[in-house]
Amino acid sequence: MPGKASESHRGETSARSTQESSHAVLTIPNLVTLLRLMLLPVALFFALSRHNFIVATVLLAVISITDFLDGYLARHLGQISELGKIIDPSADRVVILSVGIAALVEGWIPLWLGVAMLVREALISGISAYLYKAKGHRLDVIWAGKAGTLLLLFALPAILLGEQVHPNLGILHIVGIVLALAGTLVLYWAALVYVRHDLLPALSAK
């Protein structure tokens, strides 16, 4: 398994390295990522202040779609940028942390699941900050991290919609919890890959 994980990680890194990136700021993918961040407080407003879970769910669904869209546009329009490589995963982390904290405080998800989600995000944020500050190294997004993030981005709207008072929507809450658990487990696997292939080599190089 370690060998396969190593080959997978190297393959992902190699694939990314073949894509040229620019220092452009105002690109279409970056604007889509910015839209994701702008929609987040609006979704939280409708969920927390108005308890309008339908509107909040639609907004979260749009936020989830933009996570696919910005990467797709970056690749197909040839607008991969250094800024995009930073703000895209950062935006995902902000969305997950914000909605995760709100769901935890409101009791929409179990305490243990909410804590597991937040601890993982805090762990990756700490590793990323340390590597960039101490080594000038930026964590590259790997497939496991992207897959786990997408699972959570699908889970959160389902959990929220399941809070709507309607007998036929309660099952969505259970589906959302299952997706959130699966996404969290995949993200912890990605975190182990980061520790093995990025953090430990950096620490041993001191």
- Residues 206 and 200 sit within 8 Å (Cβ to Cβ): no
Arithmetic mean of pLDDT, 69-96: 89
Residue 135: per-residue pLDDT: 82
Residue 185: per-residue pLDDT: 96
What is the rounded CA–CA span in Å between residue 65 and residue 46? 19
98 burial type by CB count under 10 A (0-12 exposed, 13-18 middle, 19+ buried)? middle
* 169: helix, strand or coil: coil
- Residues 76 and 186 sit within 8 Å (Cβ to Cβ): no
What is the rounded CA–CA span in Å between residue 49 and residue 34? 23
Say which range, 72-81, 132-141, 147-156, 195-204, has the weakest mean pLDDT: 132-141
Whether the pLDDT of residue 90 is over 70: the answer is yes
* Reduced 3-state DSSP string for 78-107: CCCEHHHHHHHHHHHHHHHHHHHHHHHHHC
Question: pLDDT digit string (tens) for 97-126?
Answer: 999 999 999 999 999 999 999 999 899 989
Residue 67: per-residue pLDDT: 85
The owner of tokens 């889970």 is 155
Residue spans of the domains in the chain: they are 2-204
Whether the pLDDT of residue 4 is over 60: the answer is no
Neighbours of 56 (CB within 10 A): 26
Whether the pLDDT of residue 8 is over 60: the answer is no
- Residues 90 and 76 sit within 8 Å (Cβ to Cβ): no
* Residue 141 backbone dihedrals phi, psi, to 5 degrees: -70, 130
Question: pLDDT digit string (tens) for 131-180?
Answer: 888 888 888 888 898 899 889 988 988 988 888 766 677 889 899 999 99
Residue 15: per-residue pLDDT: 41
Assign 2 a pLDDT band (cuts: 50, 70, 90): very low
Residue 43: per-residue pLDDT: 95
Query: For residue 115, what are its two tokens?
Result: 């804590």
Query: For residue 194, what are its two tokens?
Result: 């980061």
Query: For residue 161, what are its two tokens?
Result: 């919609």
Q: Which CATH architecture has domain 2-204?
A: Up-down Bundle (1.20)
Greatest mean pLDDT among 2-6, 79-83, 189-193 lies in: 189-193
Residue 33: per-residue pLDDT: 94
DSSP 8-class letter at 23 = -
Question: How does the average pLDDT of the chain come out, rounded?
Answer: 85
Residue 18: per-residue pLDDT: 45
What is the rounded CA–CA span in Å between residue 34 and residue 29? 9
